[in-house]
Amino acid sequence: MPDINVDQVDWEKVDGLVPAVIQNVNNGHVLMLGYMNQAALSHTINSGKVTFFSRSKNRLWTKGETSGNWIDYVRGEIDCDADTILIQARPHGPVCHTGSISCFNDVAPDNTQFLGRLGLLIAERHAALPAGSYTTSLFANGKARIAQKVGEEGVELALALIKDNQTEITNEAADLLFHIMVLLQDAGLKLGDVIEVLEERHR
């Protein structure tokens, strides 16, 4: 995963202060925009708490130091011009002083972005085959076992629907989707390839 090297930011270009976009790592929701100098960015990385340079207070300011609504630093990236920072973070409570989740809006993206991260994890399991992993056991047992599991989970999902049990439906749908993603990985494909087909059909 990308992470920030403080020395790679072009601090001189921006008079020592760069905009920092804070994004919820779990769902991609843009939470706020603040400004960081080199000390604020270093403190953010070292402390694990997102810290800005407050232009009004003229000092470092850690988000949550008054409200307790900290923002945990996960990782960061520098843009192509080296004068803007994107911070992936986990908020603890509302981010905006108004009590809203975000300083922009409270409409978070849906959580389907998690599927991209899950796909990367499945690909890593396929490449490394770490011992003790259920995903590894599927790949190790070959295509027939993977195909069998997809079939079994599909039947279990259908039965859950007949029983009209929402908890079972969501659990079995999760199992089926996971095994479909394993099948796609084994076939040299990814979920995005399937989405492209759906998008083309929609057009």
Cα atoms found within 13 Å of the Cα of residue 121, Cβ hemisphere only: 9
Domain 112-202: give its CATH superfamily: MazG-like (1.10.287.1080)
Q: What single-letter amino acid sits at 20?
A: A
Residue 203, pLDDT score: 77
Q: What single-letter amino acid sits at 72?
A: D
Per 3-state DSSP, the chain is made up of helix, strand and coil in percentages (nearest 5) of 45, 20, 35
Cα(178)–Cα(100) distance, integer angstroms: 34
Task: Answer whether 126's CB lies under 8 Å from 185's CB.
Answer: yes
Task: Answer whether 72's CB lies under 8 Å from 49's CB.
Answer: yes
Q: What single-letter amino acid sits at 159?
A: L
Task: Answer whether 37's CB lies under 8 Å from 17's CB.
Answer: yes
* Residue corresponding to tokens 């000390």: 39
What residue spans of the chain are helical by DSSP H? 38-47, 114-128, 134-163, 166-186, 191-202
Residue 2, pLDDT score: 56
Nearest to 175 by CA among 141, 148, 150: 150
Q: Indicate the pTM of the whole model.
A: 0.60
Please report which helix (H) or strand (E) contains residue 20, including its range: strand 18-24
CA distances from residue 121 to 27, 139, 178 in whole angstroms, order as listed: 17, 13, 11
Residue 108, pLDDT score: 65
Q: Which two tokens stand for residue 163?
A: 């029983």
Hey, where are the domains in the chain? 6-108, 112-202
Task: Decide if 6-108 and 112-202 have a common fold.
Answer: no
pLDDT in tens, the chain (203 residues): 458 899 999 998 988 999 999 998 877 889 999 999 999 999 999 999 999 999 999 999 999 998 999 999 999 999 999 999 999 999 998 899 888 889 997 776 667 777 887 988 999 999 999 999 999 999 999 999 999 999 999 999 999 999 999 999 999 999 999 999 999 999 999 998 898 899 889 87
Residue 145, pLDDT score: 97
Please report which helix (H) or strand (E) contains residue 62, including its range: strand 59-62
Residue 7, pLDDT score: 93
Say which CATH class 6-108 falls into.
alpha beta
